[in-house]
Structure 1
């Protein structure tokens, strides 16, 4: 009976596998095997050839799930973020809660070359891009879609691999390999919490499998998992991460204006960033009433936390003799600590899903598989309350909001948003803007009533309005569903030729939900008819709030379809071994449909404040042919060569060659080197997107003295306490930001790369080995937005704006309405212009030594050092980033440290008890960034109150994991991450987190974190 059952099951699995796999037999393409190989031969990521030695010509790191378990790392995504070669503009889950374009996702950045130069594969096959692009331009694969519990290991190729895989493999390849087979039942559960009693997490998984491929001819297994980590607020961590009040970080002389310490050390609140304030203006809203100042509509909204301006401050005069605070409130400004009240360190993340894989042997030489993965990943986080006055990010039909009914531009100083004198019922009509005043058409004294929100209405004055409703934080949610099917068939075509066929289809469905963001037209309607209570916002009905702040839901999708096949074999024997060859072909289709969540296609008021306008739609087909050969000339010398030709339906084409050399003069030493060329295809965001706006911090270098003098600033002050600022200058002017708007171009060409690696593997004894590899990568035709410097310099000096740029001015400053407005947006089209180079060294050491009977010591050290990372512009200008916060715009101010590494030591006691210690090292960096002005490592971004001076120090954390095998079926384990509860170094300039670097700080900001779990296998 048992034999009959197994025969039937085997036949059923074989039929399912064969039926799916044969759908792709007619296509000829390349893929690395989707499963672990048999014990005789292996195929390593980056090569088509089967080999018996793991000594590869290209450096490869293997991250096994067993090793991650031993370290207490809960997810493959977390493990990849710890990689020594993952540096620069990586995308972490924590950053998604702090303004990332690609919210809800995680990605690696090998060699500091950004997420779009690292290729991520699943079983050697491509995966669908995350529907949202990093910074609105960089396509990447979301690491949160990795099905953790069926992963065998992750191979990280630290070398260019376009000759094998095509586009995006410039800095390297991350290949996630799933288990070839699983037998029995495995149940795993764990829970974690910080030593402060917050940020709890839970993880649970079940895997069930039956059959042995080699003995029974089949294996089928299924797995399901659930993972959750709770939201963590800034207020739940210590100083200075929990507050905007950084006065304790520097001397009292920094940021003192009019005798009061504020702005720069602590933006204690301005009329535009706290509760609602009003200032009287004439009925036409063309001029403020002489001598008036802003006043709180309801000081009680401040909850007793008021920043009071003293008499000296109120009387302070600037260099022009004008009242420095002439427009400030008469009594004070509501002090709002946004970081403490609303800041989020990490979002709430929930992931769950299931996988199934069936593998069958059809005969002694042919094997096939089918794999199905279904996953959902969700994130939730809150943000600052929405503004009721601001510049919505630009869109393809951008028009300035500050335009009167007559077409006059409010940049002349007459367009500040104001409450009308009279309000009227709209009766279905939309409000119109008349000189900045939302008005119901036809509303006047004859048919309207005095506006209860306007304290100056009885005097016939409008009330210029600034501020926020502090009672309703914004809410951001993402829900990403991923569906993937893959199949493969491999075996022998003849005695001397092997074949390998693979096919995959993947669909990603991302839903984005934005709550409590202000819809501009509805705000104008509510102002015009008086339905929104600005005096007591907490008394607004839910229906009014829903109207002014309607929920915005948008869905984006991404698709990837791929069919690949290759043939490989041996031609003849050389003195060092057989000459191997492989040829293959590939056909794939990829598409992204990500409509804008905030398009202004219907006009500038039919949209939301501050929701990004990014959107893109595109698709393309790719055909590729490639081949590879390896020739062991003699026993000590092996040569290899590979090449691939890719053609895109969008018109681009590229040929990518690669050459390698292995030289083993003695058994203990291997010398290796490669030369390759690669390419990165323009992303959908770069070629097809709506204009994309990212916000860039102003630096003092962009302003002229003449411009700043209009804001009461004295000439540039250079002293020890404030080396890069101005005296008597509002820091919200110099420390603000502007929108950098990139305009897509369908005519972009691929970025080209040239890569060289040189390395050595030294194994003086069987139990110890050392590796060192040098790499140099040069990218040309790098896609970029032209430097904004010429446009900014022209605008602030009053000169003509250079061709190719559009500069859009901000609305007039409410405190200095007659001053030239700051820049709100700089628009420029993307071009192939720059050259980027990176060089560095990778180090590795492995030890596995039996110390005493029953005790084995294992040690694994990996470290990466960036020698130089720089961008060269067409005019010859060079910006160097390694060891600094640069490339500031690309890394979200998280920088590019020179050093990063991990050192793992484990003691195994008879296989019963295993104690593992991990040291994580993240190098420090200088507070400078050449793309923000200044010179290399010149401390130009130090605002004068950094507690560590010009340099953010290195960050070292220690993890400890203890695993006890109670019996053959039951194992318990405990993990303590960040054993010494060491918080990240303070960084006052990065904008990806409050007071610390989100990439450097990573999980360290959680503090000491403890997990306990159990595994049952039977």
Structure 2
């Protein structure tokens, strides 16, 4: 809902304007005697094709320009990053319709293992299937302590935006060129190699509601030396984002939307009778009770809740309840106090030294250090069914009087807001560096060699974390037989494990002692050290020519070794924490030796309807220490019937080798009931289960990608106009996944011997037959059973022209990009009838592979040499909460529709100085203060999908930049 700017925000804006103006004036005064900066370059569009004479290196090592590469490439220039005043490159990439913000601060309110993480996820197929490069070389990935479920990917927090020259995005498979992980595409971040002068940027921002405050200061400096033979560049960037509070900090959050399971729908006379199985509704509260609720069937006590003074009253359960939530009733949301967006602090440096030893040999050293810290407010203790024994010392008198003599215990539920919530501090530090040589051999041949090393040091600390054993000891409190004071039963029994136990009163809010709160919680910690060493060599040249031009060949080899080691606290190592923080130590490693060759051969030139025609092919062989020899290949061609019109097609086979955690993680145990059908008889047992561990025998994933499209770059009267339309189809088989216990049990019950073998078995003591056996445990690792297929169309459109009526240097430019998803098929590998689902048009976030049918991004910029104004429109099409809803009687829902949403962002710049070296910039994001639509995640109880929709609302950014 649109609202006015509050006083706090207005005061802050006033101070920021004054402060920024003073800062800019002071910097300008200091810079007045400095060397004049060169004129700023003309703006480029977000996804424009590069000029024909500029080499696009990412899509092909042999193509001499971007139009010769058969695989589509999009480019984000540095001016886009500066225009939008972003602190990380992720913020711009996730506006590209080809990306999904799967793991980003906006979507990471539920990502307790890495809330500050920012990853690139092309095609919504998972960040582990998008390869991120820096200057065409790998960088050490981010590997959190979660034993599985969090992919090993590159964290985009590594790279200071002021050091970035441009970002090239290959929207198709590229494993033949770059190896594993380039299944859905490649993001190649090109850093500045030469820079002269100094550039300083300072900015700050805040939301209209007075939160989401951001501060940033960054600088880059460079100079030449040795008579211009060398150049050194160094940059540093610090930013701090103070995050966003819980859902009650926004009017849309105060609506308390959630999807509730209607467990009463088949019972005549009850509120949910005749309604769907699932209900999307506002005013959804927790059904656990902040003071505790008796859930056992005891006359006079069932559904009674406790007041702070220990008295009891009926608990208002609302109209419909399911699981731990209900529609209406008393209380608040189950995620009260849980941050919608984490606090993120980030510091990163990057630098390089390039030196020409001769006209044909250049040496370089580049690298940097980054540190990001994410802070996240987590959840309160939730007890869905806690047993209370009859002799518990804290049972209120009113309850004790109504307990039947035969009742030895009863169960209560409780959400313990009053005991505090856990909160997380995740630190990610990454030093990394590369040393290399590059040169020319003559005759059109070039070569390069490099070696790189990086370390990712991950640290997770969870504060106020409930310890399961301590909580159980503290709840079981009795009266001391001597003093009558409350004491833990286990202490009276002399249980050494309960030493220091403090009795906990759960009956009514605010009755727990400080000592009890301190006893039941602990501090979980885990650390990961991940190393990556890479050495590579490449040669590119022209061995011969045809009448249509030179044949270009590239070949090379690479060696890579990656190791990971996880350590953790004693409690977490034993899965001893109630809600989060459990990490089981392990270590693992792999190495790979690879070789590749690529060639581009021109077949025709300057002929009617054959202005140019060329074929391109590549092959890579990789020998892994874990999965053995693997092959990847690509073949494609480009045809330019007339100058400026390019037709391209490419077909590739790509691979992703399993990550270390998918191979060696020990996983963690849970204990739940499991049902199996044996000889037609259902046998259920409460058994330990580990379905999150790795599997040293898991194999690689394979991807088959087809892209075909056209690109037109205007000439003559159409100069400044460009358009591209590309079709893509990506099929991934043998996808690495971990099936759930329910999936495995169903597969076993259906007669699949392999899945039955994952269970251990023992005698069934419930029957007299000694040969009758029942399952006693389950251990299942990563498996190659999943599959994906996504099919869609990418469109980009660019136009730029002079607009002299605006003034000196007047210009108008427009850039548009959009992706339409034809299908997004996900096969979970369970073998069930509903295992294969087309997730295209699914705007909710509960399911892997869900993606809106269409997303678009339109930017229009007008300006002169003195000012610039950009209006950006981001569009997300209408869709479904879940495409499988309303397909079975068990998953009907009252409202499955998600409306279309459009966001407007406004950016502006003012330039001062003859060479525009002084600049003031500002941004208003979500200009119309558009609320996100209700798209709840029922598992985590968040009301909207932050992967696509803005949760902050209207927010402001203002800053200054000086170049000298």
Aligned to 1:639: 615
**Pair 1:1013 & 2:959 matched:** yes
- Displacement of 1:291 in angstroms is 6.0
Q: 1:384 to 1:356 in 2, by over 3 A?
A: same
| C-alpha distance in structure 2 between counterparts of 1:923 and 1:300, whole Å | 52
Aligned to 1:845: 797
Q: Deviations over 1:145-180 (max 9, x none)?
A: 222221111110011100011111011000111111
**Pair 1:884 & 2:842 matched:** yes
| C-alpha distance in structure 2 between counterparts of 1:952 and 1:807, whole Å | 45
Residues 269 and 307 of structure 1 are in contact (CA less than 8 Å); yes or no, is this contact kept in structure 2? no
Q: 1:498 to 1:226 in 2, by over 3 A?
A: same
Residues 652 and 750 of structure 1 are in contact (CA less than 8 Å); yes or no, is this contact kept in structure 2? no
| C-alpha distance in structure 2 between counterparts of 1:1005 and 1:333, whole Å | 24
Q: 1:511 to 1:248 in 2, by over 3 A?
A: closer
- Displacement of 1:55 in angstroms is 4.3
Aligned to 2:316: 308
| C-alpha distance in structure 2 between counterparts of 1:146 and 1:192, whole Å | 21
Aligned to 1:746: 696
The one of 227, 232, 257 aligned to 2:244? 232
Q: Deviations over 1:105-151 (max 9, x none)?
A: 12222122221211111221112221126962532112222222211
Q: 1:791 to 1:623 in 2, by over 3 A?
A: closer
Residues 614 and 692 of structure 1 are in contact (CA less than 8 Å); yes or no, is this contact kept in structure 2? yes
- Displacement of 1:277 in angstroms is 4.4
Aligned to 2:543: 571
Q: Deviations over 1:341-397 (max 9, x none)?
A: 31321111111122222111111122122123111111111122123567xxxxxxx
Aligned to 1:488: 436
- Displacement of 1:642 in angstroms is 1.0
**Pair 1:341 & 2:336 matched:** yes
Structure 1: unaligned runs, 5 residues or longer? 1-36, 281-287, 317-323, 391-415, 423-449, 699-706, 708-737, 809-822
Q: Deviations over 1:419-454 (max 9, x none)?
A: 4727xxxxxxxxxxxxxxxxxxxxxxxxxxx56789
- Displacement of 1:84 in angstroms is 1.4
Aligned to 1:270: 287
Q: 1:560 to 1:763 in 2, by over 3 A?
A: same
Q: Deviations over 1:682-710 (max 9, x none)?
A: 222322122368999x9xxxxxxxx9xxx
**Pair 1:673 & 2:649 matched:** yes
Structure 2: unaligned runs, 5 residues or longer? 1-49, 478-486, 489-501, 606-611, 675-681, 683-687, 762-774
Residues 928 and 942 of structure 1 are in contact (CA less than 8 Å); yes or no, is this contact kept in structure 2? no
Matches within 5 A, 1:516-535: 516-526=464-474, 527-528=476-477, 529-530=487-488, 531-534=502-505, 535=507
Report how many residues are paired. Answer: 835
Matches within 5 A, 1:151-230: 151-211=164-224, 216-230=228-242
Aligned to 1:712: none
| C-alpha distance in structure 2 between counterparts of 1:42 and 1:868, whole Å | 33
- State the SS of the aligned residue for 1:671: strand
Aligned to 1:592: 564
Residues 243 and 338 of structure 1 are in contact (CA less than 8 Å); yes or no, is this contact kept in structure 2? no
Matches within 5 A, 1:455-534: 456=400, 462=409, 464-471=411-418, 472-526=420-474, 527-528=476-477, 529-530=487-488, 531-534=502-505
**Pair 1:81 & 2:94 matched:** yes
Residues 815 and 859 of structure 2 are in contact (CA less than 8 Å); yes or no, is this contact kept in structure 1? yes
Residues 541 and 553 of structure 2 are in contact (CA less than 8 Å); yes or no, is this contact kept in structure 1? yes
Please identify, of 123-132 and 990-999, the stretch whose mean Cα deviation from structure 2 is larger: 990-999
Aligned to 1:903: 858
Per the normalisation by structure 2, the TM-score is 0.78
Q: 1:886 to 1:959 in 2, by over 3 A?
A: closer
- Displacement of 1:742 in angstroms is 3.5
Q: 1:787 to 1:197 in 2, by over 3 A?
A: closer
Residues 929 and 941 of structure 1 are in contact (CA less than 8 Å); yes or no, is this contact kept in structure 2? no
Residues 597 and 611 of structure 1 are in contact (CA less than 8 Å); yes or no, is this contact kept in structure 2? no
Q: Deviations over 1:296-326 (max 9, x none)?
A: 4544599x9985369xx9xx9xxxxxxx99x
Q: Deviations over 1:3-30 (max 9, x none)?
A: xxxxxxxxxxxxxxxxxxxxxxxxxxxx
| C-alpha distance in structure 2 between counterparts of 1:884 and 1:333, whole Å | 28
| C-alpha distance in structure 2 between counterparts of 1:824 and 1:772, whole Å | 56
Aligned to 1:725: none
Q: Deviations over 1:486-517 (max 9, x none)?
A: 22211113454321112211111111111222
Q: Which has the higher strand share?
A: 2
| C-alpha distance in structure 2 between counterparts of 1:246 and 1:254, whole Å | 21
| C-alpha distance in structure 1 between counterparts of 2:269 and 2:376, whole Å | 36
- Displacement of 1:908 in angstroms is 2.4
The one of 894, 898, 909 aligned to 1:963? 909
Q: 1:72 to 1:905 in 2, by over 3 A?
A: farther
Aligned to 1:762: 712
Q: 1:134 to 1:157 in 2, by over 3 A?
A: farther
- Displacement of 1:547 in angstroms is 2.4
The one of 574, 582, 597 aligned to 1:627? 597
Aligned to 1:713: none
- State the SS of the aligned residue for 1:578: strand
- State the SS of the aligned residue for 2:856: strand
Q: 1:686 to 1:801 in 2, by over 3 A?
A: closer
Q: 1:989 to 1:382 in 2, by over 3 A?
A: closer
The one of 121, 129, 147 aligned to 2:141? 129
Matches within 5 A, 1:603-752: 606-611=576-581, 613=583, 617-635=587-605, 636-691=612-667, 741-752=691-702
Residues 131 and 594 of structure 1 are in contact (CA less than 8 Å); yes or no, is this contact kept in structure 2? no
| C-alpha distance in structure 2 between counterparts of 1:544 and 1:247, whole Å | 35
Residues 56 and 66 of structure 2 are in contact (CA less than 8 Å); yes or no, is this contact kept in structure 1? no
The one of 819, 828, 831 aligned to 1:864? 819
Q: 1:38 to 1:570 in 2, by over 3 A?
A: farther
Residues 886 and 893 of structure 2 are in contact (CA less than 8 Å); yes or no, is this contact kept in structure 1? no
Matches within 5 A, 1:84-123: 84-87=97-100, 90-99=102-111, 101-123=113-135
Q: Deviations over 1:975-1010 (max 9, x none)?
A: 111111111222245656732211111xx2211111
Q: 1:791 to 1:592 in 2, by over 3 A?
A: closer
- State the SS of the aligned residue for 2:756: coil
| C-alpha distance in structure 2 between counterparts of 1:389 and 1:739, whole Å | 20
| C-alpha distance in structure 2 between counterparts of 1:470 and 1:571, whole Å | 72
The one of 35, 38, 56 aligned to 2:69? 56
Please identify, of 990-999 and 660-669, the stretch whose mean Cα deviation from structure 2 is larger: 990-999
| C-alpha distance in structure 1 between counterparts of 2:706 and 2:116, whole Å | 35
Q: 1:682 to 1:615 in 2, by over 3 A?
A: farther
Q: Deviations over 1:751-790 (max 9, x none)?
A: 1111111111123422111101111111122223457666
- Displacement of 1:572 in angstroms is 1.5
Residues 269 and 333 of structure 1 are in contact (CA less than 8 Å); yes or no, is this contact kept in structure 2? no
Aligned to 1:25: none
- Displacement of 1:835 in angstroms is 3.4
Q: Tell me how large the CA RMSD over aligned residues is.
A: 4.3
Q: 1:479 to 1:989 in 2, by over 3 A?
A: closer
Residues 917 and 958 of structure 1 are in contact (CA less than 8 Å); yes or no, is this contact kept in structure 2? yes
| C-alpha distance in structure 1 between counterparts of 2:918 and 2:461, whole Å | 43
Matches within 5 A, 1:425-440: none
Q: Deviations over 1:229-271 (max 9, x none)?
A: 1121234544442353669999x99999756999964554434
